[in-house]
């Protein structure tokens, strides 16, 4: 069986775009978590510190806070992380 070619490693812009889509409601928390998990599990990739930090936030973004259905990290936290990501990328 032929191997599939390795997918293009996400750029910092790609990662920021996932945060934006999540904040805007165009991406579910489950989709963001699965996307980040896929990239974090690939040991053959080399990440800069900011990208790795941001992927780590996205991976687990769907964790429940309790049985109420609330998330461990609320929408305000997501917006704060997006702002921090943009700030870290600018420096």
Q: Could you give the CA distance from residue 50 to residue 62 in angstroms, rounded to a whole number? A: 21
Banded model confidence at residue 26, pLDDT cuts 50, 70, 90: very high
Q: Is residue 38 a part of any domain in this protein?
A: yes
pTM for this model (two decimals): 0.87
Q: Which residues of 7-28 are buried (b: 16+ CB within 10 A; e: fewer)?
A: eeebeeeebbebbeebeeeebe
Tell me the mean pLDDT in the region 40-49.
94
**Residues whose CB falls within 8 Å of the CB of residue 73, separated by 6 or more in sequence, listed in order:** 61, 63, 81
Instruction: Please report whether residue 35 resides in a domain.
Output: yes
Q: Which two tokens stand for residue 71?
A: 């998330």
Lowest mean pLDDT among 5-9, 37-41, 83-87: 5-9
Cα(91)–Cα(77) distance, integer angstroms: 21
In a domain, 60, yes or no: yes
What is the domain range of residue 44? 12-90
């Amino acid at each position: 069986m032929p191997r599939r070619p390795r997918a293009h490693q996400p750029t910092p812009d790609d990662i920021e775009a996932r945060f934006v889509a999540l904040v805007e409601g165009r991406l579910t928390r489950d989709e963001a978590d699965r996307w980040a998990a896929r990239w974090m599990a690939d040991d053959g990739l080399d990440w800069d510190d900011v990208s790795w930090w941001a992927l780590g936030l996205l991976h687990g973004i769907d964790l429940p806070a309790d049985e109420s259905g609330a998330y461990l990290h609320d929408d305000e936290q997501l917006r704060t992380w997006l702002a921090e990501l943009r700030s870290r990328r600018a420096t």
